[in-house]
Amino acid sequence: MDESGDEQSTQWQRFEKYVGHIVESSPDGTTYKVIYLGRHGEGYHNVGEAKYGTKAWDDYWSKLDGNGEIIWDDAHLTDRGKQQALDNSAFFNRQFAEAKMPAPERYYSSPLFRCLQTAYATWSGLEVPADRPLRLIVKELLREVVGEHTCDRRSSRTVIDDAFPEAEIEPGFSEKDELWQADHRETHAEHDTRTQQLLDEIFSHDEHTFISFTSHSGAIASLLRVIGHQQYPLPTGAMMPVIIKATKATSGQS
């Protein structure tokens, strides 16, 4: 029997109860969120890097739109990547039904095509509570490391809107990609500044506790650096949950 006296409760139920307790008992200025960090499924850029090796990829191939056989500009999912997302969907359905895993209350995605494909293939059609429907918000700050690599140059707002009309694109989202530069790739420090801004926005404006991020290996690595977590490289299609405590500073920033 667990501490709640419920012999039937699962680990996820006990975790959800614990999170609810610390949220309710936290002092003013302290907030907790559980974020499901999901990496997109395999994309054509992953195939390109595997084919040519990381050094050749970084030095030459990543700066092209493709190799004449496949295109990796704003890379789409491969068939394997699509299947990874569908396998994840089946896994989460079992987790929700059997393990009573808390479904996300809010869903965010990078605007890059592979993440939007992954998010919808993973979360659409799942049996979730009526008050937690899939309403995907496209978030510019969730992007992969920006610059040089064409796989990380996003499509226009019009293309994204046409391909994913059910997605909610955040206010201020530009028509053209204004972040990507052909001659400069974000440093860790620059990316971490962007990630800190992302977390500040989420903690300041989203009142939900359980949140889903569908993003990239570099974006997840940046978030783990910002929160002081050990690095945990995720393969394509993988997910890890993290619980984050934010305390409002005297300056008014989280």
Amino acid (1-letter code) at residue 207? E
Annotation says 201 is catalytic: no
Structure tokens given for 242: 């993290």
Instruction: Give Cα separations from 106 to 55, 109, 117, 206, 208 (angstroms).
Output: 38, 10, 17, 8, 7
Q: Longest C-alpha distance within the chain, in Å?
A: 63
Annotation says 207 is catalytic: no
Q: Which of 49, 105, 140, 144 is catalytic?
A: 144
Integer Cα distance of 228 and 199 in angstroms: 13
Q: Which of 40, 45, 191, 216 is catalytic?
A: 40
Structure tokens given for 90: 């089946």
**Catalytic residue numbers, as ranges:** 40, 144
